[in-house]
Amino acid sequence: MEHIGLNPERLRIEFMSSAEGILFAEVMSEFGNKVKELGPLGKREGMDQKELKSKLAEITKLVPYIKLVKNEKLASRLVNPEEYDKLFTKDEIDRLFSEVISYYIDPEKCQACMTCAKRCPVEAIISAKNQVHVIDQEKCIKCGTCFEVCPPKFGAVTKISGEPVPPPIPEEKRTIVRKSKER
Ligand code: SF4
Ligand code: SF4
């Protein structure tokens, strides 16, 4: 929440068993008052609805990526609340967001074999016969499948971290002219 400029006090995690009804009621009442005090989401943080929606969409899009890169930690079974507190350090979270990975298809290397497009789980690859393939960064969930399946002899998919993704090649320049057809 802090990463997108929202007050982290809007989220509260408490450990309790289903037998602790009184504790649950107390926590909910206290937290309800806290949320009322903080006011409508985004307003106190100085964001209008449009900015709030776009920031929430931006972070929601990263959820599958976070699940993937932190799969091991997220799956670990912890017993004590203290263990949860130590599971992710603030530095680690900051690094996770500053080093978000993106995937990019190098138009010079792509041979339009279509393998990546067939395997992309969210149809984020703009694909057509004899056309350089392009990743739609808005749809991409950063699963890395295209990077893994692009045949090594082409090696057209690159992993980018901490740098902007190059803009997509214009549509009119995507046609691949095969050497045999050049003659
Ligand atoms: S990283 Fe995953 S979601 Fe993104 S384009 Fe490649 S296969 Fe599709
Ligand atoms: S798998 Fe590689 S070469 Fe084949 S279409 Fe995708 S990016 Fe291009």
Q: Specify the higher pLDDT residue, 178 or 133.
A: 133
Residue 172, pLDDT > 60, answer yes
Which atom of ligand 2 is least distant from the CA of 125?
6
Separation between Cα atoms, residue 160 and residue 135, nearest integer Å: 13
Pick the range with the lowest mean pLDDT from 23-32, 35-44, 90-99.
90-99
Question: What are the distances in angstroms from CA 154 to CA 32, 108, 131, 138?
Answer: 56, 10, 15, 25
Q: Are 144 and 159 in contact (CB under 8 A)?
A: yes
Residue 140, pLDDT > 80, answer yes
For residue 13 the two structure tokens come to 């995690």
Class assignment of domain 101-177? alpha beta
Separation between Cα atoms, residue 16 and residue 24, nearest integer Å: 8
Q: How far apart are the first and last CA of the chain?
A: 58
Separation between Cα atoms, residue 66 and residue 151, nearest integer Å: 26
Residue 146, pLDDT > 90, answer yes
Separation between Cα atoms, residue 68 and residue 103, nearest integer Å: 15
Residue 171, pLDDT > 70, answer yes
Which residues, 6 or more positions from 130, have their beta carbon under 8 angstroms from its beta carbon? 112, 175, 176, 178
CA dihedral 175, 176, 181, 182 (to 10 degrees): 90
Determine the pLDDT at residue 145: 95
Domain segments of the chain as ranges: 18-98, 101-177
105 alpha carbon – ligand 2 mean position (Å)? 7
pLDDT interval class at 106 (50, 70, 90): very high
pLDDT interval class at 59 (50, 70, 90): confident
Q: Are 112 and 149 in contact (CB under 8 A)?
A: no
CA dihedral 75, 163, 132, 182 (to 10 degrees): -140
Q: Specify the higher pLDDT residue, 54 or 22.
A: 22
Ligand 1 pocket test target in 141, 147, 158, 165 with most atoms within 8 Å of CB? 141
Pure H helices in the chain: 21-38, 49-61, 63-69, 71-75, 81-87, 90-98, 115-119, 145-149, 179-182
- Residues with CB under 6 Å of ligand 1 are 103, 120, 122, 124-125, 135, 140-146
3-class DSSP assignment, residue 111 = coil
